[in-house]
A and B are shown apart, each in its own frame.
Chain A
Amino acid sequence: MNFLVPLPVVMPLFGAALALMMAGKPRAQRTVSLTVLTATLLVSCALLFLSTVDGPLVVAVGGWSAPLGIVLVADQLAALMLVVSSAVTLCVLVYSIGQGMADGHEETPLSVYHPTYLILTAGVTNAFLAGDLFNLYVGFEILLVASYVLLTIGGTENRIRAGSTYVVVSLLSSVVFLTAIGLIYAATGTLNLAQLVERLDALPDGLRLILQGMLLLAFGIKAAVFPLSSWLPDSYPTAPAPVTAVFAGLLTKVGVYAIIRTETLLFPGGRAAAVLLILGLLTMVIGILGAVAQSDIKRLLSFTLVSHIGYLLFGVGLTTQLGLSSAIFYVVHHITIQTTLFLAAGLIEKRGGSTALDKLGGLAKLSPVLAVLFLVPALNLAGIPPFSGFIGKLGLVQAGVADGGVLAWLLVGGGILTSLLTLYAVARVWNLAFWRTPPSSCPPRSRSLLPPLMVAPTMALVVFGVALTVVAGPLFDVSDQAASSLMERAYYVQAVFGGGAP
């Protein structure tokens, strides 16, 4: 069944080419993108099943065997991320189609929207499947290039302003990543992750620490870790709602995925663990304080996005199996919930005419469905039991307590504080936008109801987020297995090379 592995990358790329050829025929474009993304989702589910039953699936691209050619590796972690990301991209695509129909294509005026969206998907899946550092870089570049186009789509003044910062910061992180790749190649003579395992271990400690630091710096910018996060809340909210939603769900998490992969596979032993923990704490607390101060829903949600990246670093920084598996569970939860919230914010904008909190009010009476669609993921994000956010945070707190160090306890405290402040931030949105009587500065409301094609995918994601609670047991088993095979590095090496490393 190894032929399935490249499909999540190849299908969206082919789909993008097809969709580009059908420029000007929106109907055909929609059919192509929907078919391709549905197929990607199905293949990803199959990969998750197969990698859980049989162990990692490995494909040597073009038949060039491992250290010479590029390998694609679908282990449990990669497959799990594939499933969640393709489910989210599919839902957001349906939403954007609904929005395009409702607005008469105001937000997606260009026929490049569908091809670019598919290329973004291909970049994300390629980064998850990459078994080679340079291929990971290429995956990042593919998704970044697509994201530049999506962020500046339409070319309005505001988007160009936000887009310039975003593009320059991303380019800089790519330069740092490429420099790190050059140095690693110079030091070891290979970029294959499985081969690097042995060769990096043989390097002097100081050199290894420098290489690790450079990779962390590059991925930290992409994942929006605290001192490197200020580009995010400024750029994301200016994009169209579905674009913001998919960026918020996926792009930072690809950075987190890269951190998890390199920290466990290439640089185990936790030499950067203390740094990761401190950065995680700062990201959590400072991010959520930013969210509390915001008066625009999209900006507020962007700050909660930054803040909750801190939880993921917390899990990775503990370097225990429980910490890691909770972090993986939390990634799954966070991708789903953050996307749902941004989609709900898009619905609020559609119904209430704005996302600025001082111009909203009385939405609960106006649209009870919308109220439910916002409230459930908001409570989920804040970690109210029994939602998955609570389970993820509980896992992290348990891992922190089990660790027992001073830093770990600090993070446990910081995590709980952040959770409370998140609840405060979303409750404020709830009070102002949904419960209070509409202020006089309210823009006139559109009479039309919300388009069903926008509500349905949001509802699907809300249900998916709630379902994470129901399947939390099996899901935690999968993430635990993924974590244990990550800790057991020989497992990955063996999957790629069969025998030992050459």
Chain B
Amino acid sequence: MTPNLVYVVVIGVLFAAGVSMVLERSLTRVLMGMILLGNGVNLLILLGGKAGTPPIVGLGPDEEMADPLPQIMILTAIVITLGMTAFLLALAYRSWAMSGHDEVQDDVEDQRIMLLAERDEGSGTDDTDHHEAAR
């Protein structure tokens, strides 16, 4: 079975657009990227099965039936993506309500190291017994 070129191009575009959106800082854009990626994957799974008549016994000859398994997997994946979209939206909304923006922020560690670098200090260990003795 040779895959349909239109499908292949659409999947490629969906993946590319999704990846570039996921790299954004704003959680809403990341969410849209995730939706695009999810749709790309769904199409990719669809491409893996045979196309044909509806897979119901009695509607046509068995050999011409479409492969139902990828379609079932896509249904499951769609349900999961739906739930995740709702959760991410809630997360973005909560983030906006708490801090006025929905940007994904830096790691605590990164922030601490950047602060230390600005002040031009090393990452001091906290063995204060020695410091106190030296004083």
Binding site for B on A (CB under 8 A): 134, 138, 141, 145, 148-149, 152, 155, 157, 160-161, 163-165, 167-168, 171-172, 174-175, 178-179, 181-183, 185-187, 230, 233-234, 293, 295, 299, 357-358, 431-432, 436-437, 439
Contacts and interface: CB of A to CB of B under 8 A. Distances in A.
Nearest to A439: B128
A163 B91 contact: yes
A138 B128 contact: no
Contact of A167 (B87, B99, B128): B87
Given A148-B87, A164-B91, A183 B109 contact: no
A234 B107 contact: yes
A135 B24 CA distance: 32
A431 B83 CA distance: 46
24 contacts: A134-B73, A138-B76, A141-B80, A145-B87, A155-B94, A161-B105, A164-B92, A164-B105, A168-B22, A168-B27, A168-B88, A172-B34, A175-B37, A178-B41, A182-B45, A182-B48, A183-B44, A185-B70, A185-B73, A186-B44, A234-B109, A295-B125, A436-B128, A439-B128
Contacts of B73: 134, 181-182, 185
A186 B107 contact: no
Contacts of A187: 48
Nearest to A172: B22
Given A185-B70, A233-B109, A234-B109, A358 B44 contact: no
Nearest to A431: B127
Interface residues on B, range: 35 or more
Contacts of B27: 164, 168
Contact of B104 (A149, A164, A295, A436): A164
A311 to B, nearest CB: 23
Contact of B34 (A161, A175, A183, A358): A175
B22 A357 contact: no
Contacts of A178: 41, 45, 77
A181 B95 contact: no
B120 to A, nearest CB: 18
A233 to B, nearest CB: 7
Contacts of A230: 107
B127 to A, nearest CB: 7
Contacts of A185: 45, 48-49, 69-70, 73
B88 A295 contact: no
B91 A160 contact: yes
Interface string B81-102: 0011001100110110011000
Given A168-B30, A186-B48, A295 B109 contact: no
